[in-house]
A and B are shown apart, each in its own frame.
Chain A
Amino acid sequence: MSDALVQARGLRKCFGDIEAVSGIDVDVRPGEAFGFLGPNGAGKSSAMRMIGCVSPRTAGELQVLGLDPDVDGPRIRARLGVVPQQDNLDTELSVRDNLHVYGRYFGLSRAAVRAKATELLDFAQLTDRASDKVEPLSGGMKRRLTIARSLVNDPELMLLDEPTTGLDPQARHLLWDRLFRLKQQGVTLILTTHYMDEAEQLCDRLVVMDGGLIVAEGSPGDLIARYSSREVLELRFAPGEQHGQRAAVDELAERLEELPDRLLLYTTDGERALSAAHQRGVRPVSSLVRRATLEDVFLRLTGRSLVD
């Protein structure tokens, strides 16, 4: 047996005729932040729910914390912290009671849970809202409370399903900061996201998922180096006009991608490609030279954008 906290081989999940996860291999090592990056419907949540022992697998092998979810679900769940895609806080309870009761579900004593709730309220920056109900909290606060709740049992492994989807940039950065702290404390994180910046910020290693399958695997830097050039020149045109310009710039780049309103030129030197394009009489509405991102990796692998 390896020391992987999660080990999946040929893991599959079907809902009737729909195959949500079509056979994936995953190894998550202790202490790392591991990501599932993919668009909506890629099968990320289905994979997370199987790892979280709340969804029986259709086929394949799965071990979580060295145990089989089919046999030892409760024992595994006792050591996990789960942040589901949709908040499911207890709307009938106050902020503090949400933490208190959740701790009791895990079998913590009343005294232990009282101290823990105070500590976690501080972590989530919700101490002054402790006796409020959950409903009036902002989206970011609810998310922080959900993360705090998932920490009540001092989990060895955290599962975060789209932790920052739907939050404004400020709330996202606050959350990222909290997740960084957890990582520094040695908690293993598994997260899903369809934001490439989130994956780049948080993940040591990730798999790119599309249509229930893993299409690539590596660290964000690896993936970019493997599937993209260092720089990208974006030439923006009025929608539809980009196609006519293709031929003119084709040989300026190692690779070229066409989106509805722009051409992406993959090259090691974006500025040089830009002046070359100008010399050839190409007049885009605007242009931009940037570093390659995971978005470019995804585009390369699937021919589509991550966020639609």
Chain B
Amino acid sequence: MTGVIEAPAPGRGGPLLRILPPALYAGRARMLMLRSSLAYKRAWLTIFSGFFEPLFFLVAMGEGLGSLVGDLPGPGGRPLSYAAFIAPGLLAASAMNGAVYDSTFNIFFKLRYARLYDAVLATPLGPVDIALGEIGWALVRGGLYSAGFLGVMTGLGLITSPWGLLALPAALLVAFAFGAVGMAATSFMRSWQDFDLVQLAVLPMFLFSATFFPLSVYPPGLQWVVQAFPLYHAVELMRGLTNGVVGWGLLGHLAYFVVMAAFGVVVASRRLTALLLR
């Protein structure tokens, strides 16, 4: 029995792909996402565990610490309970964490040990399919965490505006951008030790990106540093949307992630080409 094999259309895709040679993309990135979903068929627990982490933070800090801290100034200067203040930050962080873990540890293993991508590249698929497919899966994972956490926030009455509905697509974009940069970074790693660097980037970002306290607590110099972190922009985006304080500034945060995602995809694809198509 023979199935019909569609000829891959070289050069399909948007402006992003014009920077990358057409022979590197077959337009079948979704098949890698299919692969990931099958690989996780028996490992849903692994995915599930990541969902609880921000929940624990919310309960421990929001309720526990919140009773000592009192209200904090939210977007537009409106006072917010401590739990309501940190919840959007945790939402942003869960989008980041899901995407980063998937696009670093998992991809390193597949790249260096399992030789998965060598097998994929023997088919019509190219490095761009691999990059988009794997980052797409990181997005799914980050998106699942965000959706779960958004559900919890809704249940606890921490979403006070219909704009909050847009927090989910925003979280997907954030996850895609972190996944893309995570994969690009992973392509430069040579051993498991290098992953300490991931921790070194993610943990301070998690703690200091106006997640747990407002930017105004920092001296001006440090405020600039924090504002350069991607997670800061994700936190601001989420806080604005879930509280319905929407302005042009949010578009700036969005633009940050669009650029970050494009940069990550291009670098990751080029590195895969250099590493695997020698």
Which chain B positions have C-beta within 8 A of A54? 118, 121-122, 276-277
Count how many chain B residues have C-beta atoms less than 8 Å from C-beta atoms of the other chain: 32
* Interface size range of chain A in the complex: 35 or more
Q: How far is the CA of A54 from the CA of B38 in the complex (A)?
A: 26
Which chain A positions have C-beta within 8 A of B1? 112, 115-116, 119
Q: Does B122 lie within 8 Å of A82, measured CB to CB?
A: yes
- Over the window 55-74 of chain A, the binary record of Cβ atoms lying under 8 Å from chain B Cβ atoms (1 yes, 0 no) is 11000000000000011111
Q: Does A103 lie within 8 Å of B3, measured CB to CB?
A: yes
Q: Does A90 lie within 8 Å of B114, measured CB to CB?
A: yes
Q: Does B39 lie within 8 Å of A92, measured CB to CB?
A: yes
Q: How far is the CA of A137 from the CA of B6 in the complex (A)?
A: 33
Q: Does B26 lie within 8 Å of A74, measured CB to CB?
A: yes
Which chain A positions have C-beta within 8 A of B253? none
Which chain B positions have C-beta within 8 A of A71? 23
Q: How far is the CA of A38 from the CA of B166 in the complex (A)?
A: 62
**Partner-contacting stretch, out of B47-55, B123-131, B197-205:** B123-131
Least CB separation from A72: chain B residue: B23
Cβ of A270 < 8 Å from any Cβ of B?
Answer: no
**Partner-contacting stretch, out of B27-35, B69-77, B93-101:** B27-35
Which chain A positions have C-beta within 8 A of B7? 75, 78
Q: Does A88 lie within 8 Å of B119, measured CB to CB?
A: yes
Which chain B positions have C-beta within 8 A of A52? 122
Answer whether A107 and B122 are a contact pair too, CB < 8 Å, given A55-B278, A92-B114, A93-B38.
no
Q: Does B123 lie within 8 Å of A77, measured CB to CB?
A: yes
Q: Does A93 lie within 8 Å of B35, measured CB to CB?
A: yes
Q: How far is the CA of A153 from the CA of B278 in the complex (A)?
A: 25
Q: How far is the CA of A89 from the CA of B118 in the complex (A)?
A: 10
Closest chain B CB from A19 CB (angstroms): 14
Which chain A positions have C-beta within 8 A of B5? 78, 106-108, 153
Q: Does B124 lie within 8 Å of A78, measured CB to CB?
A: yes
Interface of B: prevailing SS: loop
Which chain A positions have C-beta within 8 A of B39? 90, 92-93
Contact of B4 among A73, A77, A109 (CB under 8 A): A109
Cβ of B169 < 8 Å from any Cβ of A?
Answer: no
Q: Does A55 lie within 8 Å of B277, measured CB to CB?
A: yes
Which chain B positions have C-beta within 8 A of A153? 5, 123
Q: Does A107 lie within 8 Å of B28, measured CB to CB?
A: yes
Q: Does A105 lie within 8 Å of B277, measured CB to CB?
A: no
Cβ of B10 < 8 Å from any Cβ of A?
Answer: yes
Q: Does A73 lie within 8 Å of B126, measured CB to CB?
A: yes
Q: How far is the CA of A114 from the CA of B277 in the complex (A)?
A: 30
Q: Does B115 lie within 8 Å of A102, measured CB to CB?
A: no
8 Å CB interface, B24-69 against A: 26, 28, 31, 34-35, 38-39
Least CB separation from B123: chain A residue: A105
Cβ of A154 < 8 Å from any Cβ of B?
Answer: yes
Answer whether A105 and B31 are a contact pair too, CB < 8 Å, given A77-B122, A97-B38.
yes
Q: Does A154 lie within 8 Å of B2, measured CB to CB?
A: yes
Cβ of B165 < 8 Å from any Cβ of A?
Answer: no
Closest chain A CB from B154 CB (angstroms): 34
Q: How far is the CA of A56 from the CA of B26 in the complex (A)?
A: 18
Cβ of B8 < 8 Å from any Cβ of A?
Answer: yes
Which chain A positions have C-beta within 8 A of B2? 112, 154
Answer whether A84 and B122 are a contact pair too, CB < 8 Å, given A78-B8, A115-B1, A154-B2.
yes
Closest chain B CB from A136 CB (angstroms): 15
Contact of A75 among B119, B120, B124 (CB under 8 A): B124
Least CB separation from A119: chain B residue: B1
Which chain B positions have C-beta within 8 A of A105? 28, 31, 120, 123-125
User: Beyond A78-B124, A112-B4, A116-B1: 8 further Cβ-contacts under 8 Å?
Assistant: A75-B124, A84-B118, A90-B39, A100-B38, A104-B34, A104-B35, A107-B124, A119-B1
List 18 contacting pairs A-B, 8 Å CB cutoff, sorted by A.
Answer: A15-B278, A54-B122, A71-B23, A72-B23, A74-B8, A74-B23, A75-B7, A75-B8, A77-B122, A77-B124, A78-B123, A84-B119, A90-B119, A91-B114, A97-B38, A101-B38, A105-B124, A111-B3
Top 9 closest pairs, chain A to chain B, by CB: A112-B3, A88-B115, A92-B39, A105-B123, A108-B3, A74-B124, A82-B122, A88-B119, A107-B6
Binding site for A on B (CB under 8 A): 1-8, 10, 23, 26, 28, 31, 34-35, 38-39, 114-116, 118-126, 276-278
